[in-house]
Amino acid sequence: MLDEIIEYKLKLRLYIHILGALAVLLFATLQFSRGDFGTAFMSTLGGGYCLLVVLIMLRRKHYLWKGRGFVFFIPAVILNVINFHPEFGIYWAYVVVLGFFLVMELKEACIGSVLFILLASYIISPHYPYPILLRITGTLIIVGLSAFSFSFLINQLHSKLNEIATHDPLTKVLNRYTFISSITKSLNEFNRYQTPATLFIFDLDYFKSVNDQYGHQIGDNVLIDVAQMVTSRIRVGDQLFRYGGEEFAVLLPYTSVENAAKLAEDLRYFIEKQNFNLDRSITISGGLSEIKAGDRANTWIERCDKGLYQAKSEGRNRISTKGSSDN
């Protein structure tokens, strides 16, 4: 669903720029035939910008300057038309206000539309009686507020879906889907820049007995508490994922396995000493592995799993780097 919304926004902006290019270039041709070469030239620039955006989106799937070029071309063309032809140019102002919110990000669209409405109202002020000027400005503001409301709701929906798609609903940490994409990104960065990274996978020891003895609600609370504890003790750039069930993973970019082992041991000790309001302690076992040349996602994860299994076989409540030394 998240990818579909992003694709929908890109397609919408593509179609808007196609229509914009046709409309502006047609307008430029009309002005050229009337001898208004200044307006025709500026309109041609605006149409050319729209065509450039369309070409880049079709070839590279990239939205040029995130739509910011719109500010420098289309509003400037319309303000020029309003200045020389206020009797009909003002009607294009409504299209521009709407366009800000369709082709730009919300914050930038708000700033651009406010400035545009102020400039347009100032330009037409000598040409219209005060009551008419108020009506024009008022309706421009109404159009802007309506477009703002639509864009704001779309952004809120996008943020909500992004949260659902990337985060675990129980612990609120990143989920397994995001885990795969994140370690793939780390692998790409290592292959290109030799950027080190270490992966730490751990799970809660004898967690099934917690659920059996205290119930799943208490078990869920333990998972939430552990996730919050780990989050509070890792760096801003580190990422915590719920890998599955009672299993978690921590991706540590720019970190050697030696430094990661210190952090992992600190987490193990910290969790063991916490009071979970149970008549038993909660401990973790985990495996570490630093990224290596030729790694794929599955080989990197497998080495961590080997360390995890080693830690369990040695009695649990410990961290193992055995997998990191395997080829």
Model pLDDT, residue 324: 63
Instruction: Name the token pair of 63.
Output: 């939205």
Instruction: Name the token pair of 111.
Output: 């700033």
The model's pLDDT over 150-186, given as tens digits with 9 standing for 90+, comes to 999 988 988 888 888 899 999 999 999 899 999 999 9
Whole-number Cα distances in Å, 295 to 223, 287, 303: 30, 17, 10
* Catalytic center residues: 246
Model pLDDT, residue 323: 63
Q: How far apart are CA 51 and CA 66, in angstroms?
A: 15
Split at pLDDT 50, 70, 90, the class of 73 is confident
Model pLDDT, residue 90: 95
The model's pLDDT over 289-327, given as tens digits with 9 standing for 90+, comes to 999 999 999 999 999 999 999 999 999 999 998 766 665
The model's pLDDT over 87-126, given as tens digits with 9 standing for 90+, comes to 889 999 999 999 999 999 999 999 999 999 999 999 999 9
State the chain's mean pLDDT as an integer: 93
In contact, 103 and 13? CB cutoff 8 Å: yes
Split at pLDDT 50, 70, 90, the class of 224 is very high
Split at pLDDT 50, 70, 90, the class of 85 is confident
CA dihedral 294, 297, 298, 304 (to 10 degrees): 90
CA neighbor of 250 nearest in space, from 196, 207, 284, 288? 288
Split at pLDDT 50, 70, 90, the class of 55 is very high
Q: What is the pTM of this model?
A: 0.74
In contact, 259 and 235? CB cutoff 8 Å: no
* Domains, the chain, with CATH or none: 2-166 (no CATH), 176-325 (3.30.70.270)
In this structure, what are the phi and psi dihedrals at residue 169, rounded to the nearest 5 degrees?
-65, -25
Is the pLDDT reported for residue 248 higher than 80? Answer: yes
Q: Are strands 319-320 and 284-290 parallel, antiparallel or unpaired?
A: parallel
Split at pLDDT 50, 70, 90, the class of 3 is low
Model pLDDT, residue 2: 57
In this structure, what are the phi and psi dihedrals at residue 142, rounded to the nearest 5 degrees?
-65, -45
Split at pLDDT 50, 70, 90, the class of 139 is very high
Helix (H) or strand (E) holding 180: helix 176-193
Is the pLDDT reported for residue 66 higher than 70? Answer: yes
| Mean pLDDT along residues 237-263 | 96
| Mean pLDDT along residues 69-93 | 90
| Mean pLDDT along residues 213-238 | 96
